[in-house]
Structure 1
Amino acid sequence: MEPATRKASESRTIMTQLIFPLDTNHHETMFGGKLMEYMDKVAAISAMRHARKQVVTASTDSLDFLAPIRVGEVIEVEAFVTWTHRSSMEIYVTVESENLYTGDRRKTVTAFFNFVALGADGKPSLVPAVVPESEEERSLHASAPERHQLRRKRKQDRDRN
């Protein structure tokens, strides 16, 4: 029997990576696409922890690059489920970079990823509701229905064209 709810903290996932020259562009800052790959992986793990099912990425929105990430810095990519609909889950992903020599840390990227859980038949499958606990989780949970409506509107507009 699937639980009706799961705590947001149960889906929290963190990945730490050291940034090497091959991860960067000619400005010696991290490739955005490489960072998005890490973010998608961490978001997928978070979604699977919540749903306990296979998941697929449905969309990404509000991907905001706030500061560059440089060679030699460490990044921490963190994700957790903020809200669920029937089979979809919104996952908030943040990236912090750290200069290991000075200890300076800064938030460098934020985004919302949206995943759909799949059943054994490969079709969308119901997911448990998420229960926010911290102030950040409650705030993101409260604002999620508005983001969900904006995503639905974008999809409807796309489908009309």
Structure 2
Amino acid sequence: MFRKIGRAAAMAALLTLALSGCAGGTSDPAAPPSDPGDGYGMTAEGAQLMVADHELGEIVVDAEGMTVYMFDSDTQGAGESTCEGQCATNWPAVTTDGDPVAGDGVTGELGTITGVDGATQVTLNGWPLYYFAGDSAAGDVAGQGVNDVWWVLSPAGERMAQ
């Protein structure tokens, strides 16, 4: 019986490591909830960002209600992402085929950069934006505060630390 409990605890620890992202750099990949390149969160014009009410306050989400995040290792306004390799697997970039569109309430400046994979990545207030592979439904914020480097954003594009 203790062997089964030990195995379950080990599996839970491995799952936690797989979803934790870039801080360790050696975690197993976690599949994103949707392929960001398949039009996920996009309108005909491009990626759309909106405001959602959450217990954290007003946060920025895409058109499907999926939370978007910023990464402390990025430099605001630098025009580049630092999330690549395993990090990009766990934290897929918010991409667009057109100009990003701000929905009601989004007051931060929208822009784009060329992401690490060559796709057009959306920025808010100079921060490259990402999804979290551990979020599976609209309104999930499982990525908030992961490794004290991943944060949801306010409608003005400001980091919302815990």
TM-score scaled by structure 2? Answer: 0.22
**Structure with the largest fraction of helix:** 1
TM-score scaled by structure 1? Answer: 0.22
**Structure with the largest fraction of strand:** 1
The structure having more radius of gyration, on CA atoms, is 1
